Chains A and B, each alone.
Chain A
């Protein structure tokens, strides 16, 4: 059963493989005081790709993301193609649990995304406001612009957070479990939105994702982390290997190919044999 999907020809969907790097991490290490949380991770985010980061709870996914964005102290090297360390003009982040003050309006919140573009102590210029207006319209948020964040639904709020990240106008977008608080319909629509934006604007996306099937569906490549270490990186079909996943997650998992896409399911410990397996 292992590797059952290999050679089914679905790699072709999984994006460019020869593109230049948008961001490179070498030996990325984060120690928050009780031993390394992220331990010597090498990562190449290719230009224009969607790289999914997966792994069990506590594997260091979010920490890896925050370190790569330069939000926390870390060892090792994170660099852009020109050798600089990434800053807010290079990387925009949609956090796992964004702080959205209830009484802030959508327009106020989105304008905050322009901070890195403002001159010292200056306010937003007409150009900044135009970018924010265009982005809100593009994400179908124009009619919410004067609403308070507290009055929005979870899906609407997540779109606003993405709008805030987009107006930052950075070529790289980091997403930290962007849909963990949403139902399956809103999950899909938020991820579709990010995917559309990625193609339209040529963004490179690094996304920590919880749901392996969804990750496989949206990401060009996946990186599997376990206890801070990188286990493997590659096309979803290769990374989502039964034995490897079961080992990392500590529970038996089964990967199936359904209509050309890998789907990961828990294997019940006392499962009756799957009738499909007995088919020739």
Chain B
């Protein structure tokens, strides 16, 4: 994962609540075995509508998606995060997020900013008034700011996720620092709890 400390860019206000991961990336896109190229599928059913906000010239090249309540609920598909990032989004601002989506985002470096519903609405209004204004998200200070209108809010982000994003750490590498702990646990656990799935290996054909 690439380290991320600062997101700077224009925003897109997408005020619908309950944008589930099926909307973010419809299931027809999930058949692909690659990790790239999902940007074309982002909100693909809505993008058929020429008036959809991502089709408006003002919002081309934006980096911050400003949504509403319960963004990214539903399916665990990490493809939703890949699609947002492949399209060019570096951060999503909303008043709440689906747990699995939030987790997936943290593994890929998509910055999740959770603000009070009124603050998110304010930010959407500001963007609608001036789509060109620049939003700055500073992970070190845990702030989101629109300097030209002196609008600033702090947001919560766990130390664990912030450290990981700032350093671009790979989770697997971090976990394998505990290889000895895993092996010790595993050896004793296996004795008491042998794998239940293993017995089916002989029955399988592939």
Partners in one complex: no
- B-binding residues in A (CB < 8 A): none
Residues of chain B whose beta carbon lies under 8 Å from any beta carbon of chain A: none
